[in-house]
Amino acid sequence: MLSRWSRLVTDKKLTIQLLRSTGHGTTRNYGTDKKFSIKDEVLDGRPLYLDAQATTTMDPRVLDAMMPYLTAYYGNPHSRTHAYGWETEEAVEKARAQVASLIGADPKEVVFTSGATESNNISVKGIGRFYGVKKKHIITTQTEHKCVLDSCRALEGEGFHVTYLPVQSNGLISMEELEKAITPETSLVSIMTVNNEIGVKQPIAEIGRLCKAKKVFFHTDAAQAVGKIPLDVNKMNIDLMSISGHKIYGPKGIGALYVRRKPRVRVEAIQSGGGQERGLRSGTVPTPLAVGLGAACEIAAREMAYDHRWMEFLSKRLMDKIFAELPQVIRNGDPVQSYPGCINLSFAYVEGESLLMALKDVALSSGSACTSASLEPSYVLRAIGTDEDLAHSSIRFGIGRFTTIEEVDYTAEKCIKHVTRLREMSPLWEMVQEGVDIKSIKWSQH
């Protein structure tokens, strides 16, 4: 067992050294300062990267697969009259088969898009509008990605009724509540597989069975799940699935949408044009990006179990170190039904933005990259019942394929150091240490 982990660690070190040698990382001084001042902190090179839910670095093997189609093979894959088009069309179809193989689908059921946001828009709006004459009810959850929620709100403006299911305190939906919400008017249930903020895995197979029994289409946003956990669209009764390239070590600007053919799922296209991609997504397919997504899917299928063990090992190491040294740290989301590479922690009596500023030599996030400009607390954390002060004190740690043990240890040590320092500056923390019940205090208004 030890020799296996030693080999695994060695592989990761070699990879990270390769990235650093090409300018994608730096060597750091891991010493501690006696007196801290954020103004005196000098960042030597680029920060460590622990924000894998926002995006992932491109796997060098993916870039190798893409390079010929960025240089020599530049034909339009939709040109049918010459070799330039034929060779790129062949590459696109190979990539389509690679994506399909990862999720247990037929290649003809895979549609290339610009990413998961577009795939989600096509799914929600496309199903809603196509079947909207007879069915005007859609079900989703309060913790979905913003593009799903906004698509549902757009349909509400068109006269649709949308049910936003609440989630339990662990982030999971109640299957009983979902079953109660389905009516004869329901055309679609859209529930994400793995949450992008707290990493919770929904019971997708159970949801799929229920939707099939009720004759309702089931869409899942699997951007954070594809290539990371085993998925099979047929066994799980999934009718539509959204996929993102840059979340699985592929290029940005490419994604895919799985649309079931048997029984056929009809979707109204939201983009007009030349009718490419079965008429569902007009526009020239970018061959280099499609090839990159296909290569990323093939690598993910081959190394999924290996990567998952690495995530489990590193996430346990990170949490063990933090929980051993810091009291009043809360993990948000279900500790069992979750993807180990996404860890969301709330540090009581510490402002999350202050902690992020102090940890400027580590790239972390306080929530979704799509809503990080907002000063409002995360709507996902509020949906699971997190108090506003704890929601403001949350940090998301995103561990990826190329994260090393040294990076996790360094992040844990810096996190412990700065949480301790910030708490020492907090009068609320001082009151708690003295035994004062903060929740019982009635603060006066000024």
Confidence tier at 4 by pLDDT (50, 70, 90):
very low
Structure confidence by residue, pLDDT tens digits, 399-422: 999 999 999 999 999 999 999 999
Over range 294-306, report the average pLDDT.
98
Gap between the Cα atoms of 348 and 343, Å rounded = 16
Gap between the Cα atoms of 12 and 175, Å rounded = 40
Q: Which fold has domain 48-56+304-436?
A: Aspartate Aminotransferase, domain 1 (3.90.1150)
Q: Where are the beta strands (DSSP E) in 35-87?
A: 48-49
Gap between the Cα atoms of 52 and 55, Å rounded = 5
Domain ranges, ordered by start, for the chain: 48-56+304-436, 60-300
- The closest alpha carbon to 438, from 381, 391, 387, 393, belongs to 387
Ramachandran bin of 333, using left for φ above 0, alpha for ψ from -120 to 50, beta for the remaining angles: left
Distances 263 to 216, 221, 238, 260 between C-alpha atoms, Å = 12, 20, 11, 7
pLDDT at 203 over 50: yes
Gap between the Cα atoms of 113 and 245, Å rounded = 10
Distances 88 to 23, 71, 92, 257 between C-alpha atoms, Å = 31, 12, 6, 20
Q: Where are the beta strands (DSSP E) in 43-136?
A: 48-49, 110-113
Stated as kind and residue range, the H or E segment containing 301 is helix 287-325
Q: What's phi and psi for 217, nearest 5 deg?
A: -70, 145
Strands 161-165 and 329-331: unpaired
Judge residue 416's burial from the number of C-beta atoms within 10 Å of its C-beta, 0-12 exposed, 13-18 middle, 19 or more buried: middle
Fold agreement (48-56+304-436, 60-300)? no
**Annotated catalytic sites, by residue?**
370
- The closest alpha carbon to 323, from 440, 419, 391, 219, belongs to 419
Output the average pLDDT for the chain: 89
- Residue recorded with tokens 């799922």: 265
Distances 9 to 16, 130, 404, 417 between C-alpha atoms, Å = 11, 51, 7, 26
Residue 8 has a pLDDT of 42
Q: Where are the beta strands (DSSP E) in 30-118?
A: 48-49, 110-113
Peptide bond into 288 cis (omega under 30): no
pTM of the full structure: 0.87
Q: How does DSSP assign 3-26, residue by residue? A: HHHHHHHHHHHHHHHHHHHTTS--
Structure confidence by residue, pLDDT tens digits, 337-389: 999 999 999 999 998 889 999 999 999 998 644 445 556 788 999 999 998 88
Residue 31 has a pLDDT of 41
Q: Which fold has domain 60-300?
A: Aspartate Aminotransferase; domain 2 (3.40.640)
